[in-house]
Amino acid sequence: MQKIMSIAVAATLLSVAACTSNQITPENSMTISNKEKAVALLNSIETGDQEAVRYVNPQQYTQHNLAVGDGLAGFGAVLQALPKGSAKVDVIRAFSDGDYVFTHTDYNFFGPKVGFDIFRFEDGLIVEHWDNLAVKADAPNPSNHTQLDGPVEITDLDKTGDNKALVADFVDSILVKGEMDKLASFIDGDNYIQHNTDIADGLSGLAAALEEMAKQGVSMVYSENHVVLGEGNFVLSVSEGSFAGEPTSFYDLFRVEHGKIVEHWDVIETILPRDEWKNVNGKFGNL
């Protein structure tokens, strides 16, 4: 999974050769929103849209996918291995938070994958990228939900700050500190919808999954939350910790309604050993 380079970078590299004669400036990339630019860049890996490369600053592009080198040049060798016409991209959800855009994507890139991507913009151009990738499951979870289905509409924009604060508190109190007695104050019982491939809906489904993990001696530890980003009723949390003893990156997307967490999607990725990193930026650097 870690050997797969990011969709955004792939799109850039597929296009860059044809665009080197075009000057990339903030002025010629301000006609559409940052969210639209990020989605266009993701889509370009499938469509080959060469305009999308204009949304990346090639002189200032920091990559946090540890399997590839920094900047644009580090990805050429990986691109050569991509079978022609095999890539498919479907951006299911896209959100903006200040200088950041984060997306939830269904794609085929060296096989079916599900991923979250985070882009940071400066002066209308993408200058930094983080992601978490997982192999797409073959079947729905115990409650018949997939890793990607569910609502996509952004609502409650005026509650973005409150919803981010709620999720930040949930991650710190429940996931990091393990204060499970507070769980009911964050989640609305069995009205909670779960998209994790192994967990059923509701608090009962979560409890059953944790009990089964404990029986198998599998631990899931959140040690630190790095960032919480949100737009309206959707909030993304990026954390690190361990799963089954392996260093792990946790990307958790929550939908909030009436002050409670009502839905959850996630992508869990094992972090590469330090001696296999292709750049020195770190999985969570600058977040």
pLDDT for 9: 44
How confident is the prediction along the chain (287 residues), in pLDDT tens digits per residue?
A: 434 444 444 444 444 433 433 444 444 445 899 999 999 989 987 887 878 878 989 898 899 999 878 876 755 455 566 678 888 999 999 999 999 999 999 989 889 999 999 999 999 999 999 999 999 999 999 999 999 999 999 999 999 999 999 999 999 999 999 999 999 999 988 899 999 999 999 989 988 888 888 899 999 999 999 999 999 999 999 999 999 999 999 999 999 999 999 999 999 999 999 999 999 999 999 99
- Domain spanning 7-136: which CATH class is it, in words? alpha beta
Q: How many CB atoms lie within 10 A of CB 38?
A: 27
- Domain spanning 157-270: which CATH class is it, in words? alpha beta
Over the stretch 162-220, which tens digit does the pLDDT of each residue have? 999 999 999 999 999 999 999 999 998 889 999 999 999 998 998 888 888 889 999 99
Domain boundaries, the chain: 7-136, 157-270
> Fold match between 7-136 and 157-270?
yes
Angle at which helix 34-47 crosses helix 7-19, to 10 degrees, equals 80
pLDDT for 75: 53
